[in-house]
Every structure is written in C-alpha cells, then in structure tokens.
C-alpha cells in the first residue's frame, strides 16, 4: 500500500519515493493522492507558465500531476514518456501512442513502440518497422525503416536494409 507522499522541487529533476527520500529539498508541494513514486521534472518541455507537470506512479501505473500534486492524467498507463511538441509517448496493454497534457489520446495506442517528437514528427514502430507521424497522427513517412532517429535541422538519420542515410520530413533521401 502506498503511503501519502510529499513532493519537493528544486532546479534539477528529482525522484521522490513514498518514503520521501530525496537529496535536495526545494519548494514543497503536497500530493493530493497517494502515490508509490513521484518524479518532479524541472524542464522547459513540461512548463505551463510557472506550473510543472509531474510524473506519478500508483500500483505500477503511470500518470501526471500538476505542480501542486493535483492529478491531471490518472495513473493508468504502463509507461509514459516526456512531453515534446506538446505530446508524450504512452503505453498501455502492450500498445503505444501519444497523449496530450490533458490525457487525451491524440494518436491512438496502436503501435508496437513510439518515441518522442522532434520538429513536429514522432517516431512510430508498426510490424517491426519505423516511420513518422505528425501531431494529428497522420503517418507522414510510412513505417518501413529498420532504424530512425530524431529530426534535426529538417533531416533525420534512418537505416534500411543495413544502409544508413538521411531523409527530409517528406521521406526523401538527402545528403
């Protein structure tokens, strides 16, 4: 049974367990619910003005709370990623997709694996192959690659049949 936890936040990411163990003590935030673990994230990707999104875990399931410990996304997911381009990877019952900061499934949990967004495109794996979706869930680059990486300056490194090369956001090979 999880104990009531108090969360703290300072200038760095910090993991606080139900025992309250922490090396650095910052601004105190009371958790309104009982959680097994609370992960305070101090990162631009999680900020909403002066507010922060906080990963919470209860009974092996993950969700998010706001900086005051109020549950925003109930802990119903087997795994959650960080927010990039306003979306976070989410996994439940072996299927992956993306949720927004309200918990709405923006991109349905239908993929084998998902990775974070970069430059407006998220990485998705279907039938053992990787591709990219936009923030609406449209497959912009169909899953056909053995490996994909984040987009940077409009291009991403991919691998197909043992050959590595770069593609643009339309899937065209570029140098």
Q: Domains of the chain by range and CATH? A: 1-77 (no CATH), 79-175 (2.40.128.630)
Token couple for 79: 């795994």
User: How far apart are alpha carbons 54 and 73 in whole angstroms?
Assistant: 10
Residues 107 and 120 sit within 8 Å (Cβ to Cβ): no
Which of 24 and 135 is assigned the larger pLDDT?
Answer: 135
Give the H or E element holding residue 140: strand 139-145
User: How far apart are alpha carbons 155 and 166 in whole angstroms?
Assistant: 6
Which of 32 and 66 is assigned the larger pLDDT?
Answer: 66
What is the mean pLDDT of the segment spanning 64-88? 89
pLDDT score for 67: 76
User: For residue 120, is pLDDT > 60?
Assistant: yes
Helices H, strands E: what count in the chain? Answer: 0, 21
Mean pLDDT across the chain, nearest whole number? Answer: 79
- Helix H segments across 47-136? none
Residue 51 exposure: Cα atoms within 13 Å on the Cβ side: 11
User: For residue 110, is pLDDT > 80?
Assistant: yes
Q: In whole angstroms, how large is the CA radius of gyration of the chain?
A: 18
pLDDT score for 78: 97
Buried b (16+ CB within 10 A) or exposed e, 150-169: ebeeebbebebeeeeebbeb
What is the mean pLDDT of the segment spanning 66-75? 86
Which of 145 and 11 is assigned the larger pLDDT?
Answer: 145
User: How far apart are alpha carbons 97 and 136 in whole angstroms?
Assistant: 11
Looking at 9-18, 52-61, 71-80, 128-137, which range is the least confident one? 9-18
In sequence order, what DSSP letters do the residues of 41-57 get, joined into one string? ---GGGEETTEE-EEEE
pLDDT score for 54: 84
Nearest to 22 by CA among 1, 5, 2: 5
pLDDT score for 39: 54
User: For residue 83, is pLDDT > 80?
Assistant: yes
- What digits encode the pLDDT tens for the residues 27-52? 434 444 555 555 554 444 444 444 56
Which of 45 and 109 is assigned the larger pLDDT?
Answer: 109
């Amino acid at each position: 049974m999880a104990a009531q936890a108090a969360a703290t936040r300072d200038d760095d990411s910090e993991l606080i367990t139900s025992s309250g163990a922490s090396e650095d003590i910052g601004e105190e935030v009371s958790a309104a619910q009982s959680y097994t673990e609370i992960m305070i994230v101090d990162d631009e990707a999680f900020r909403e003005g002066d507010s922060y999104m906080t990963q919470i875990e209860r009974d092996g399931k993950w969700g998010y709370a706001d900086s005051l410990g109020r549950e925003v996304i109930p802990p119903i997911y087997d795994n959650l990623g960080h927010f990039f381009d306003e979306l976070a990877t989410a996994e439940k019952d072996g299927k992956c997709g993306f949720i927004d900061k309200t918990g709405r499934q923006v991109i349905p949990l239908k993929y084998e694996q998902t990775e974070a967004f970069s430059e407006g495109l998220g990485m998705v794996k279907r039938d053992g192959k990787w591709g990219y979706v936009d923030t609406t869930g449209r497959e912009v680059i169909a899953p056909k690659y053995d490996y994909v990486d984040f987009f940077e300056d409009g291009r991403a490194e991919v691998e197909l049949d043992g050959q590595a090369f770069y593609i643009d956001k339309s899937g065209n090979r570029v140098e």
